[in-house]
Every structure is written in structure tokens, then in C-alpha cells.
Amino acid sequence: MNNDLWQSLAGQELLGASLDQVQVLRLDRLGGNAPGNKAFKLRGHFDRAAALGARRILSFGGAWSNHLHALAACSRQRGIASVGVIRGEQPARLSATLEDARRWGMALHFVSREEYRQRHEPGYRAQLAQRLQADYVIPEGGADALGVAGCSRIAELVLQRAPAAARIVVAAGTGTTLAGLVAALPPGFHVTGIVALKGDGDLGTRTAVAVAATGATCTAGWDLDIRFHCGGFARSNEALQQVMLACERRFALPLEPVYTGKAMLALQRLRASGEWSSKEPVVLVHTGGLQGRRGFSWLRQQMESGVHEPTGSGLYCATGSNR
């Protein structure tokens, strides 16, 4: 068991909330080119692409996409070409995320937001792949059966450390990591997905379908909590900022505002209110994504002052830019 991946917060408090019996599964400490959940989502795709003899992988994302960042890094490591289809017109200056991706060899193809909405349509994907000379396509965020299967392996880490009655807390965007955990953990565990987007009304249905598609019949319980999106995807508010900065200063636990910060905010609020008992064992899954911290101007001062810089791969150093 890799103890470096686990951080216990037992006996600690966070802004008035007890963190007794809370452990953090630090996937951000995995190291390599793509620490966090992205490596789990992508592994099956790279294996299949290799089996098919693919030479160029195509996928989709925004200017600060953790998915494209990880795809570019892993593609370089595996010696396969990659192309990222980017939502929105090309800016005068690339985001730090896309600068990394381009430096690692990813070709960047910008499309209008209107065109980007077609990214889930098979016909559009096939046409785009042909035009961009890609012979393997990964859905946005790695959100498909291979991604779910990859994230099921995160459950193996949980089972090494967590008691069978534990609540597992994980941020939910596409629901892929959530579905993988639910499918692979046995009854007795309960997985709570903290929804990072506002108004994503079909996430529950998509997660249920993804779990059913694995064929698992004896799974953990699960639910979604939609109260902690902080205004929408990649939005933040004062409560989120306070929780993140307190975690970093007190526990040397770096978070980012899109996913992991919101998961911790939910844990803090629900423990403080008594909705979740402080006697219940909790595992908060840190899904990585620390490279995206560079896109938030309010984090710049913290990062430039060197307050508990993220650990793990040097590719994920945080240096700040506006967002």
C-alpha cells in the first residue's frame, strides 16, 4: 500500500467543522505526467489505441482542460501524436494549459462554441477526425465505458485503507470517476458526488447508465449533491476561497476551485451543520487537476508566495494567470 497517497485529517478542524475520521486520497501525488484521475480515465484508451495501431489521438476540451493537458502529456510519453479540439476562437495568448499541451506536441484546433456543441455526435466526430488526420477519438473528459473502467481502479486504493462503512466524497463533472467508484465498491460504502456544474440535470441519469453498463450488480450506494457549485462550472465564491486557502495553510493540502475545492467545501459545510456526523469515516478523493490553479487570479498571490506548492510532478507547478 502506498501510504504517500493518503493524508489523514483526523483530530483537525476546518473553519469550525470537525475533520475527525477524514482521510484524503491524494491522487495528485501519483506523479508522472498526469497525476490525478485523468491517468485512470486515459489508460484504457491508450491501450486500445495501441492495439488498433492508431497514430494520432483526437479529443475535446476548453482552454483550461485537465483532460487535454493530461492527454498531451501522456501522448508525448507514449510516442503517439495528439490533437486537441478547443472550444472557442483562438485567443491572442494561449492559456498556460494549452501552452503546455502545444509544447508537448499536441496540435490545437479551435472551433466556434456553436460547432463545439456537436462534439458528442458520431458523424461530426468522424468528419473531424478525417479532416484532422486522427485515427482514434476520445470523448470529452474521457467520459465513456473505458474511462469508467479505468476509474474503477481507484476503488482498489480505497479498499486498501477505508473501512467498509465509509462515505466516499468525490467531485463530479462528467460523472465518470463517480460511476467507476460506485461500480467497483461493494455495498456498505456510500459515494457522494459533489456536482461541479450548475443545472446539469441529467448527470444522475448518465451516472446510473454508466454504472449499469459495467455489468456490476452489487455496488456501493450513491447520491449527488447539487448545492456546492458556487455559481457554476469553474466559478468560485468567498466560501470556497476561504476553505481552499485554509486547507493549504493549515494542512499543506492544495486544492483547485473547479472540482476538489468544491468537494472539500461540501465536506466542511455538511460536517459543520451536523448533516454529516463527525463519527462517520470519510474518504475525500483528491482528483488532481492542480495545473488549472494557474487560471485563477485570486490564487496568484498564494502561489507566488510559495504557500504549500503542490507536490508530485513538476509539470503541475502553479504559477498563476488571470481567470
Please report, for the domain that includes residue 108, its CATH number. 3.40.50.1100
Helical axes 66-78 vs 38-52, angle rounded to 10°: 40
For residue 270, the one-letter residue type is L
- Residue 207, number of CB atoms within 10 A of its CB: 22
Average pLDDT for 295-308: 68
- Answer whether residue 210 is part of any domain: yes
Q: What angle do CA 213, 122, 60 make, to 5 degrees?
A: 90
DSSP 322: -
Per the structure, how many domains does the chain have?
2
Residues 221 and 196 sit within 8 Å (Cβ to Cβ): no
Return the beta strands (E) in the chain as ranges.
6-8, 13-14, 17-18, 22-26, 56-61, 81-87, 107-111, 136-137, 167-172, 190-195, 221-225, 282-286
Residues 262 and 279 sit within 8 Å (Cβ to Cβ): no
For residues 115 and 194, membership in a common domain is answered with no
Q: Is the pLDDT of residue 15 over 50?
A: yes
- Answer whether residue 321 is part of any domain: no
Residue matched to cell numbers 488498433: 52
- pTM beyond 0.85, yes or no: yes
| Domain termination site, one of 115, 142, 169 | 142
Alpha-carbon dihedral angle through residues 276, 263, 175, 207, given to the nearest 10 degrees:
10
Rg (CA), the chain: 19
- The pLDDT-based confidence of 34 (bands split at 50, 70, 90) is confident
- The pLDDT-based confidence of 201 (bands split at 50, 70, 90) is confident
d(CA 62, CA 320): 18
Q: Is the pLDDT of residue 156 over 70?
A: yes
pLDDT digits (tens, 9 = 90+) for 220-258: 999 999 999 999 898 999 999 999 999 999 999 999 999
- Answer whether residue 103 is part of any domain: yes
Write out 170-187 in H/E/C secondary structure: EEECCCHHHHHHHHHCCE
Show which residues are catalytic. Answer: 65
Residues 40 and 47 sit within 8 Å (Cβ to Cβ): no
For residues 201 and 310, membership in a common domain is answered with yes
3-state secondary structure of 239: helix
Which residue range(s) make up the domain with 62?
38-142
For residues 64 and 183, membership in a common domain is answered with no
- Answer whether residue 123 is part of any domain: yes
For residues 170 and 260, membership in a common domain is answered with yes
Which range, of 36-50, 190-204, 292-306, averages the lowest pLDDT? 292-306
| Domain termination site, one of 142, 161, 182 | 142
d(CA 264, CA 242): 11
d(CA 320, CA 75): 25
For residues 150 and 132, membership in a common domain is answered with no
Residues 6+ apart with CB under 8 A from 138: 42, 45, 57, 58, 59, 71, 144
Q: What angle do CA 100, 105, 110 make, to 5 degrees?
A: 75
For residues 89 and 161, membership in a common domain is answered with no
